[in-house]
Amino acid sequence: MFRYLPLALAACATLAHAAPPEPVVTTLMHQALADAPGKEVMMLTVDYAPGAADPVHRHDAHGFVYVLEGTIVMGVEGGKEKTLRAGETFYEGPRDVHTVGRNASRTKPARFVVFLLKDKDKPALIPVGSH
């Protein structure tokens, strides 16, 4: 019985250090703004499984977050992390580097809406390395 203990402990350690699940992003709307040439709006939902987290990134856009369910933690470089619950909001600007974006729970999902006001034809998410 004890001869399998090291194998079981190694498997548990591997699972404990596994990468967090990736968020599921769904585009709800993508609309050019006729009265603001060169600008467009994207509206997305983001579903965080328990323990899910975003990689470090930026949006090159004004980003507005509204939490629909669960609890999330958001933060930008140089700012303090904020824990947000359903009904709360978060803003990040076009120059902000989004250093923290994760589900605060390891047992419950979280879901939020993101509204991006951005330059037309620019990507919604830009990965940022070396953080």
Q: Kindly list the structural domains of the chain, giving each domain's residue range(s) and its CATH number in brackets, ordered by start.
A: 20-127 (2.60.120.10)
What are 44's strand-pairing partners?
A: 27, 114
Render pLDDT for 31-65 as a digit per residue (tens, 0 to 9). 999 999 999 999 999 999 999 999 999 999 999 99
Q: Which amino acid is at 83?
A: T
pTM metric for this prediction = 0.82
Q: How wide is the angle at C-alpha 85 spanned by C-alphas 17 and 68, nearest 5°? A: 100
Dihedral angle of Cα 83, 88, 92, 93, to the nearest 10 degrees:
-150
Which helix or strand (DSSP H or E) is residue 12 part of? helix 5-16
Which helix or strand (DSSP H or E) is residue 83 part of? strand 82-85
Render pLDDT for 72-123 as a digit per residue (tens, 0 to 9). 999 999 999 999 999 999 999 999 999 999 999 999 999 999 999 999 989 9
